[in-house]
Amino acid sequence: RIMAGAALTFDYCMMLLVASLIAVAGLATDSSVIVVASMLVSPIMGPVLALSFGWTLKDWNMFKMGMKNELFSLLVCVTCGFV
C-alpha cells in the first residue's frame, strides 16, 4: 500500500500539477488559505511515507523510489512556480 501511494502514475502527476498551480495562485494573490488548500490537494505524502518506511524497514528499493519521486515532485513544483 505504501509503494502504491508513492508510485509515479498519471493521476499522481496530474494531482501534483494541480496542487502546484493552486499554490502559485495562492502566492500570487498573497492568500495563505489558498496555499494551505494546495497542501491538502498535494499527493506528496506518498513518496515521503515510502522514503521513511524504506529507511526504517531497511527496504532500499522502497527508499530509492520514495527519494526519486520526492525529488521529481520538488522539481515539478519549483518549475511550476518559476513559470
Please tell me the predicted confidence (pLDDT) of residue 38. Answer: 92
pLDDT per position as a tens digit, 32-69:
999 999 999 989 899 999 999 999 999 999 999 999 99
Please tell me the predicted confidence (pLDDT) of residue 82. Answer: 86
Q: How far apart are the first and last CA of the chain?
A: 34
CA dist., res. 75 & res. 57, Å (int):
27
> At a CB cut-off of 8 Å and minimum separation 6, what does 34 contact?
22, 23, 25, 26
Judge contact between 15 and 5, C-beta under 8 A: no
Please tell me the predicted confidence (pLDDT) of residue 83. Answer: 79
DSSP state of 58: T
